[in-house]
A and B are shown apart, each in its own frame.
Chain A
Amino acid sequence: MTTISLQNVWKEYEGKVVLEKISLEIAPQSFVALVGPSGCGKTTFLRMLLSEETPTRGRILIDGAPLAPEPTVDRGVVFQRYSVFPHLTVTENVLLGKEFAQSKFLGMLYGKARRKAIEEADALLAEVGLTGAASKYPAQLSGGMQQRLALAQALITRPKILLLDEPFGALDPGIKADIHVLMLRLWKETKMTVVMVTHDLSEAFRLGTRVLVFERKENSALEPDRFGATITRDIDVWPPKHAAWATPAGKKTPAR
């Protein structure tokens, strides 16, 4: 059960206001889809949730506690690109989270511990449909398979929050539809809170329980840097597909 709360958050870069007056409560297990014109600060917003950037003003709280100053294991992430490690095979990529947790010095598991971790990784790979590709390197995978791998890799540490920055933006429509089904299933099974940036409105409504629109409300021709984007619309998606209401039997039901 994870609530995210933003209290009057602003972000400026050298006097240029990118985001302003963002106040928001995100309920546990929501799937928030974030849309808005290119360059309006969606990635910046996500980077603040990751602790990669700090707000210029305002506070971000997770379950009432201030955000840690660095990225932590409770917030997983999938980027549009570069989410997986090119020098590790598919299995090794998924294994990594386990190895970091269980082997503080070497970051490597051997013997029985490794076999156990591989079992878990294999189960996750089966879940995302990558069983046959276990020993391949990311460069040998298609874009869709790479993003499936990135999801599996992020999920092995069981994050409370999953942040996605246009994760499916570069995929072909057919592949996108399949991965949407997978995404919804994973979200329902893991009960995590998801915040996803997308530029695809239909994707936002298909996946999200709540769609947030970022836009600049005011524009000044004389001072283009003076106003930043903020949340101009906050839409609860109907019919609700909240995780708590999902029927366990309907695991494979596509939400299309």
Chain B
Amino acid sequence: MRLLSLRPGRGANLLLPAIPFILLILAYTIGSALRHAGNPDDKLLPGLDALVGAVRRVAFSPDKRTGEYLLWSDTLASLTRLCAGLAIATVTSCVIGLTVGLLPYLRVLLTPFIAVLSMIPPLAILPILFIMFGLGEASKIVLIVIGIAPFMTRDLALRVSELPAEQLIKAQTLGATTWQILARVVAPQMMPRLIDSVRLSLGAAWLYLIAAEAIASESGLGFRIFLMRRYLAMDVILPYVAWITFLAFLFDLILRRLQSGLYPWFAGARAK
């Protein structure tokens, strides 16, 4: 039997995915135990009780100074920025990407410009954003938008130009105007692809969010992690990282569900 013909059964399908996670936790626990055997005050790999204690502190008891539940106020601050950035980037890239992909004049006018824009390393212009928009929310949101909107716009324009020419001709023979083609033929077919594009951009959006929060902020998940680094508080940093990972995973899951729920035709159309 060739290796590539061996397929896991039903039980294995459930069990196998858990193995890497279990191994990681096991390795951590062993490492933590070894370090604590050498030095009971070790901060690098806090044990389970220390992690639980830290989570209890940041998530379920009010902060002594501000009276806030840190994890939740940080999450709220970060998600507000992230969602604002994602929403603005999605709307702009949708409007520009659809029209650039469909209208030859706009395509010639804007394609090179957008290509150059998307080459600018967003973090390199973060200082400019701080100067222009101050250290408040605006600069962080703008960084996320600048970081992902050019990619999403290019991606969408490309997807529009990949629509079979037959479809656009067909729509015209059915009497459609440019606007009607945009509204009934192009935009509806691009919505599930836009969701794909958002999913691909999520990682980058988190990256820019955390970078901006790390550099200039008083709240947010990224701010907290970088603040805790000064105290070597791995017991707080690790749960925060796990929490961010979980949130990112959740976003992706929601978008995937949204795609298959709202656009049931898409899976069949994509398979071709």
Q: Please tell me if the beta carbons of A100 and B174 are within 8 angstroms of each other in the complex.
A: yes
Check A82/B164 contact, CB under 8 A, given A87-B263, A137-B268.
yes
Q: Please tell me if the beta carbons of B173 and A137 are within 8 angstroms of each other in the complex.
A: no
Q: What mask results when residues 158 to 199 of chain B are scored 1 for a CB within 8 Å of chain A, else 0?
A: 000000111101111111110110011100110000000000
Which of B169, B170, B188, B269 has the largest number of chain A CB atoms within 10 A?
B170
B266 to chain A: which residues have CB within 8 Å? 87
Q: Please tell me if the beta carbons of A107 and B180 are within 8 angstroms of each other in the complex.
A: yes
B189 to chain A: which residues have CB within 8 Å? 85-87
List residues 67-94 of chain A with CB under 8 A from any CB of chain B.
70-73, 75-77, 79, 81-83, 85-88
Q: Please tell me if the beta carbons of B269 and A73 are within 8 angstroms of each other in the complex.
A: no
Q: Please tell me if the beta carbons of B188 and A87 are within 8 angstroms of each other in the complex.
A: yes
Q: Is A153 part of the contact surface with B, judged by Cβ < 8 Å?
A: yes
CB-nearest residue of chain B relative to A161? B173
Q: Please tell me if the beta carbons of A87 and B265 are within 8 angstroms of each other in the complex.
A: yes
Give the interface size bracket for A toward B: 35 or more
Q: Please tell me if the beta carbons of A77 and B272 are within 8 angstroms of each other in the complex.
A: no
Q: Which of A50, A79, A85, A100 contacts B175 (CB 8 A)?
A: A100
A211–B268 CA distance with the chains assembled, in angstroms: 38
B188 to chain A: which residues have CB within 8 Å? 87
A125–B143 CA distance with the chains assembled, in angstroms: 52
In the assembled complex, the CB of B130 is this many whole angstroms from the nearest CB of chain A, namely: 43
In the assembled complex, the CB of B66 is this many whole angstroms from the nearest CB of chain A, namely: 50
Q: Is A131 part of the contact surface with B, judged by Cβ < 8 Å?
A: no
Q: Please tell me if the beta carbons of B184 and A108 are within 8 angstroms of each other in the complex.
A: yes
List residues 121-179 of chain A with CB under 8 A from any CB of chain B.
137-140, 153-154, 157, 159
A selection of 8 A-B contacts at a CB cut-off of 8 Å is A52-B165, A72-B175, A83-B170, A86-B189, A87-B189, A88-B265, A96-B171, A100-B175
9 more A-B residue pairs beyond the given contacts A77-B170, A100-B171, A138-B268, with a C-beta to C-beta distance below 8 A? A71-B169, A71-B172, A76-B173, A79-B170, A81-B164, A83-B166, A87-B188, A106-B183, A140-B268
Could you list which residues of chain A lie within 8 angstroms of chain B, going by C-beta atoms? 50, 52, 70-73, 75-77, 79, 81-83, 85-88, 96-97, 99-101, 104-108, 137-140, 153-154, 157, 159
